[in-house]
């Protein structure tokens, strides 16, 4: 199976991950949205964290390519497949005890803010989709950037990691709510 997603396929996966997450959050009542099952983040906090993460990645994607190349250099290997990234993500996220850095921690969020944060999630996703248009297919594999979990990754891998991250939080939220996919 070819997992070297084209720009259009990356866009489709990113949009689907955001839509699926937002659809789940939209369906939640006040208790489900604000509750902290098992002392974990609430659904609202997961949402706010994803918005903050997407905005951070958007800032990185807005950097000129020459600056990214200066900071991280060019790729010295082909982009990894989606399945390879998913395995590495699961290994790092589940076994490393890694926590979101302070600037990505969500703080409190209330049910009355739900629609605002869903719109912000859609907006941050729309910006990421727009950022993809800045790159050619070859530039996605030739250029690198720093990822907080994986280290140096290609731009294509970075975009795949974003929808992996969203689906990771989606799966966690379903589990916390006792729901199935």
51 burial class (0-12, 13-18, 19+ CB within 10 angstroms)?
buried
Residue pLDDT, tens place only, 137-153: 999 999 999 888 888 99
Residue pLDDT, tens place only, 44-73: 999 999 999 999 999 998 899 899 899 999
> Residue holding tokens 């910006």?
127
Position 178 pLDDT exceeds 90: no
DSSP 28: -
Number of continuous H segments (helices) and E segments (strands) in the chain: 8, 2
Q: What is the mean pLDDT of residues 76-87?
A: 90
Band of residue 113 on the pLDDT scale cut at 50, 70, 90: very high
Top-confidence residue, 179 or 74:
74
């Amino acid at each position: 199976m070819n997992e070297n997603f084209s720009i259009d396929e990356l866009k489709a996966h990113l949009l689907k991950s955001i839509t699926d997450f937002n659809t789940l959050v939209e369906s939640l009542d006040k208790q489900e949205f604000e509750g902290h099952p098992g002392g974990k983040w609430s659904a609202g906090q997961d949402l706010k964290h994803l918005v903050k993460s997407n905005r951070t990645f958007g800032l990185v994607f807005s950097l000129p390519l020459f600056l990214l190349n200066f900071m991280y250099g060019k790729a010295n290997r082909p982009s990894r497949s989606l399945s390879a990234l998913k395995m590495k993500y699961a290994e790092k996220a589940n076994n490393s005890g890694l926590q979101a850095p302070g600037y990505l921690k969500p703080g409190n969020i209330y049910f009355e803010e739900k629609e605002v944060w869903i719109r912000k999630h859609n907006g941050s996703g729309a910006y990421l989709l727009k950022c993809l248009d800045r790159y050619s297919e070859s530039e996605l594999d030739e250029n690198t950037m720093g990822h907080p979990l994986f280290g140096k990754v290609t731009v294509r891998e970075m975009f795949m990691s974003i929808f992996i991250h969203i689906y990771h939080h989606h799966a966690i939220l379903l589990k916390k709510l006792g729901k199935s996919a």
